[in-house]
């Protein structure tokens, strides 16, 4: 029997169903965002951002030292530091106005820091490479902390041994730093590079104009790549695929841009940390900026997790509560379970040694029972007291009526 093509009437009946299905899919995708915000607060995202800010501040100075050292090897130290200060100035003053107060103090602090690091980055090639590797190893501590935070968001246990995990975090840090150096070298040398390429292709100065217009999109693309590397490789879970442009990376970039713009407006018009805290006002501004940045990164990671969970729910997977992803490595999971069992056995032996019931199941928490009894006991006591008072008042009123009748 040949299959018949649907007629015009049948097509009209199927079209509303298709439109409704597309609307449902859009609604399901939209619901990922409010759920990500709720998951952010359920996982204590503000505290998570604060802990990551601590590691970021510790990793910032060796990271800048490694970056300037690599720029020294590329012969772009001075132009690279000037470009970083220019970017910081644009972030603090998006409209191009003159910096005042805390913003100016933060820029002056950053300039002094970069000048000091540039002086320490000088030396032989071997010394620069050795110093860069040591600084990168210190910087990888933030990447490792970010991986632990991602494990908590995924509900996953860290199963990679230390000898395997730290080199992985170091390689990720090295890759990110190399991307940053290549991007900065291309941007700071854009005039000569673009002019040379324009002459090669016969475009002349027009290629320079196109190259300058492509700078901001190039920075955004590199930033999205860095976020994708952090989201994909740092947690101990296997994501379905590597996504350069994912809902989470775009959301993190959008939130980070809005938060930095709002923070710069707040510094320019309302806050005055330098008047309150003096010389350390710029440091406090830096710490707050790190905290806001890490909050944006956590929110972006949660959005990615929710979209993965949505795709799993659409395929029928039991991901109603949390996303179901396999572990990259489960070596430490069995060891942790064994150590927990040993601690439980030792606690059981101590309890029995001091007269505890050997037949009592350790899985049952006696304190939990006590707490439940403690919650029920006040209710029972109040009810019994109310019943006694009511009965006493009833007897009293009956006795009073009986005495009045006898009189």
pLDDT of res. 203: 66
pLDDT along the chain (407 residues), means of 10: 41 43 84 92 91 89 77 66 69 63 68 70 67 82 93 90 90 87 68 64 68 77 90 91 89 88 72 63 79 93 93 87 87 83 84 76 48 50 63 62 59
In sign, the C-alpha dihedral spanning 386, 388, 391, 396 is negative
Q: How many Å apart are CA 373 and CA 162, to the nearest integer?
A: 45
Query: What does the buried/exposed string (b/e) look like for 67-93 if buried means 16 or more CB atoms within 10 Å of the residue's CB?
Result: bbbbbbebebbebbbebbeeebbebbb
Nearest to 147 by CA among 232, 36, 253: 232
**Which of 203, 186, 307 lies closest to 245, judged by CA?**
307
Query: What is the structure's pLDDT at 190?
Result: 57
Alpha helices in 214-280 (DSSP H): 215-233, 247-269, 273-277
Other CB atoms within 10 Å distance of the CB of residue 314:
11
Nearest in space to 211 (alpha carbons), one of 232, 233, 191: 191
Structure tokens at 97: 């106005």
Residue 327: strand pairing partners: 237
Q: What is the separation of C-alpha 11 from the centre of its chain, rounded to a whole number of angstroms?
A: 46
Tell me whether residue 120 is exposed, middle or buried, using C-beta atoms within 10 angstroms of its C-beta: 0 to 12, 13 to 18, 19 or more. exposed
The model's pLDDT over 367-383, given as tens digits with 9 standing for 90+, comes to 444 444 444 555 556 56
Residue 159 burial by Cβ neighbours in a 10 Å radius (0-12, 13-18, 19+)? buried
Locus of tokens 């530091």: 81
pTM: 0.72
pLDDT at 27: 87
Q: Are 192 and 259 in contact (CB under 8 A)?
A: no
Phi-psi region of 63 (alpha: psi -120 to 50; beta: other; left: phi over 0): alpha
Question: pLDDT tens-digit profile of 225-248?
Answer: 999 999 999 999 988 888 888 999
């Amino acid at each position: 029997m040949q299959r018949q093509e649907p007629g015009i009437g049948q097509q009209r009946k199927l079209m509303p169903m298709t439109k409704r299905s597309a609307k449902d899919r859009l609604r399901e995708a939209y619901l990922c965002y409010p759920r990500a915000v709720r998951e952010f607060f359920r996982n204590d995202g503000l505290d998570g951002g604060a802990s990551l800010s601590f590691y970021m501040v510790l990793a910032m100075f060796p990271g800048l030292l490694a970056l300037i050292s690599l720029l020294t090897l590329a012969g772009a130290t001075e132009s690279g530091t000037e470009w970083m200060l220019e970017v910081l100035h644009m972030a603090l003053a998006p409209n191009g106005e003159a910096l005042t107060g805390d913003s100016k103090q933060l820029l002056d602090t950053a300039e002094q820091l970069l000048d000091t690091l540039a002086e320490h980055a000088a030396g032989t090639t071997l010394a620069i490479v050795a110093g860069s590797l040591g600084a990168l190893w210190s910087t990888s501590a933030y990447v490792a902390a970010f991986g632990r935070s991602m494990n908590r968001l995924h509900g996953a246990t860290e199963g990679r041994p230390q000898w395997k995990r730290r080199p992985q975090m170091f390689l990720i840090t090295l890759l990110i730093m190399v991307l940053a150096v290549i991007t900065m070298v291309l941007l700071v040398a854009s005039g000569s590079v673009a002019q040379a390429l324009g002459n090669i292709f016969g475009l002349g100065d027009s290629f320079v104009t196109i190259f300058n217009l492509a700078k901001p999109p190039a920075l955004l693309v590199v930033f999205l790549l860095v976020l994708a590397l952090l989201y994909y490789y740092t947690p101990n879970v296997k994501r379905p695929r590597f996504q350069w442009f994912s809902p989470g990376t775009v959301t993190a970039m959008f939130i980070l841009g809005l938060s930095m713009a709002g923070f710069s407006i707040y510094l320019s018009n309302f806050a005055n940390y330098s008047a309150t805290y003096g010389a350390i006002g710029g440091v406090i501004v830096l710490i707050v900026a790190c905290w806001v940045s890490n909050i944006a990164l956590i929110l972006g990671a949660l959005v990615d997790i929710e979209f993965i969970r949505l795709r799993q729910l659409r395929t029928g997977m039991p991901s109603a509560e949390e996303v179901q992803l396999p572990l990259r490595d489960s070596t430490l999971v069995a060891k942790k379970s064994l150590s927990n069992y040993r601690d439980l056995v030792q606690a059981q032996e101590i309890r029995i040694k001091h007269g505890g019931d050997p037949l009592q199941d350790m899985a049952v928490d006696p304190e939990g029972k006590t707490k439940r009894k403690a919650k029920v006991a006040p209710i029972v006591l109040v009810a019994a007291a109310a019943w006694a008072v009511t009965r006493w008042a009833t007897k009293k009123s009956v006795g009073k009526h009986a005495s009045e009748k006898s009189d």
